[in-house]
Amino acid sequence: MIERLRHVTSTDGVALAVQEHGDPALPTIVAVHGYPDDHTVWDGVVRELGGRFHVVTYDVRGAGASQRPRGRSSYALPQLAADLGTVIDAVSPSAPVHLVAHDWGSIQCWEAVTDPGFADRLASYTSISGPCLDHAAWWLRGVHRRPRAVARQLLDSYYIALFQLPWLPEAAARVGLVDRVVAHSGRVGRPAGAPTHAPSSLADILDGIQLYRANFLARLLRPRKRHSDVPVQVLAPALDAHVDSQMQREAPRAWLTSLETHEIDGNHWVVEQAPGLIARHLERFVERLLSETTSTVGA
Residue ranges of domains in the chain: 4-298
pTM listed for this prediction: 0.96
CA 265 to centroid of chain Cα atoms: 18
Please return the burial class of 198, using the count of CB atoms within 10 Å of its CB with bins 0-12, 13-18 and 19+. Answer: middle
Question: What pLDDT sits at residue 299?
Answer: 53
- Measured between alpha carbons, how far is 229 from 49 in angstroms, rounded to an integer? 26
For residue 284, count other CB atoms closer than 10 A to its CB.
11
Residue-wise burial string across 156-182, b where 16 or more C-beta atoms lie within 10 A, e elsewhere: bbeeeeebeeeeebeebbeeeebbeeb
Which residues make beta-bridge pairs with 31?
57, 100
- Measured between alpha carbons, how far is 130 from 113 in angstroms, rounded to an integer? 13
- Measured between alpha carbons, how far is 238 from 282 in angstroms, rounded to an integer? 18
Helix (H) or strand (E) holding 124: strand 122-128
- Measured between alpha carbons, how far is 47 from 21 in angstroms, rounded to an integer? 9
Specify whether the CB–CB gap between 31 and 100 falls below 8 A.
yes
Phi, psi values for residue 177, rounded to 5°:
-70, -35
Question: What pLDDT sits at residue 298?
Answer: 56
Pick the CATH number of 4-298 from 3.40.50.1820, 3.40.1110.10, 3.40.50.2000, 1.10.167.10: 3.40.50.1820
- Measured between alpha carbons, how far is 218 from 278 in angstroms, rounded to an integer? 32
Question: What pLDDT sits at residue 143?
Answer: 87
Question: What pLDDT sits at residue 1?
Answer: 58
Question: What pLDDT sits at residue 196?
Answer: 81
Question: What pLDDT sits at residue 193?
Answer: 85
For residue 199, count other CB atoms closer than 10 A to its CB.
14
Q: Edge-to-edge, what's the strand order for the sheet holding 232-237?
A: 4-9, 15-21, 54-58, 28-32, 97-102, 122-128, 232-237, 259-264
Specify whether the CB–CB gap between 129 and 237 falls below 8 A.
yes
Question: What pLDDT sits at residue 49?
Answer: 96
Phi, psi values for residue 269, rounded to 5°:
-105, 30
Specify whether the CB–CB gap between 112 and 118 falls below 8 A.
yes
Task: List the chain pLDDT tens, one digit each, 299 residues.
Answer: 568 999 999 999 999 999 999 999 999 999 999 999 999 999 999 999 988 999 999 999 999 999 999 999 999 999 999 999 999 999 999 999 999 999 999 999 999 999 999 999 999 999 999 999 999 999 999 988 999 999 999 998 989 999 999 999 999 999 999 999 999 999 988 988 888 888 899 999 999 999 999 999 999 999 999 999 999 999 999 999 999 999 999 999 999 999 999 999 999 999 999 999 999 999 999 999 999 877 666 55
Specify whether the CB–CB gap between 35 and 129 falls below 8 A.
no
